[in-house]
């Protein structure tokens, strides 16, 4: 499976971005999808995850109420809508796929290359 993350960029605090993760190579609907992020000098952390059908979603406490994960299996794409962005959201954002239930640990089978989100104050 190949993953292509896009949609990152520079935004002012309070602004919004929508990240996309497009998958190719396998049946997309058979995978749980997660978003993780890694800021400079910090470990990779869980942001959000969505079940295979899209019926269940999970968001880290730090982004709950501001970020929303969704998926369109017909388009083999997962989205991360990010609103009310803060400087501490600055990081490289990665999407990842795994077989099985969503996990907050980065134990995923396939990873995208990451897209940089920079939030200025």
Q: Please give the pLDDT value at position 6.
A: 97
Q: How far is CA 76 from CA 28, 44, 95, in A?
A: 6, 24, 13
In this predicted model, what pLDDT tens digit does every residue of 3-40 receive, in sequence order? 999 999 999 999 999 999 999 877 788 899 999 999 99
Q: Please give the pLDDT value at position 87.
A: 97
Q: Please give the pLDDT value at position 25.
A: 76
In this predicted model, what pLDDT tens digit does every residue of 47-90 receive, in sequence order? 999 999 999 999 999 999 999 999 999 999 999 999 999 999 99
In this predicted model, what pLDDT tens digit does every residue of 90-116 receive, in sequence order? 999 999 999 989 899 999 999 999 999
């Amino acid at each position: 499976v190949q993953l292509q993350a896009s949609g990152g960029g520079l935004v002012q605090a309070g602004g919004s971005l929508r990240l996309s993760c497009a998958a190719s190579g396998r049946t997309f609907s058979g995978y749980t999808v997660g978003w993780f992020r890694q800021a400079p000098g910090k470990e990779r952390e869980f942001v959000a995850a969505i079940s295979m059908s899209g019926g269940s979603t999970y968001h880290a406490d730090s982004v709950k109420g501001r970020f929303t994960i969704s998926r369109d299996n017909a388009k083999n794409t997962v989205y991360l809508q990010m609103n009310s962005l803060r400087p501490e959201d600055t990081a490289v954002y990665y999407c990842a796929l795994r077989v099985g239930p969503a996990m907050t640990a980065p134990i995923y089978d396939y990873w995208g290359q990451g897209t940089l989100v920079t939030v200025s104050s």
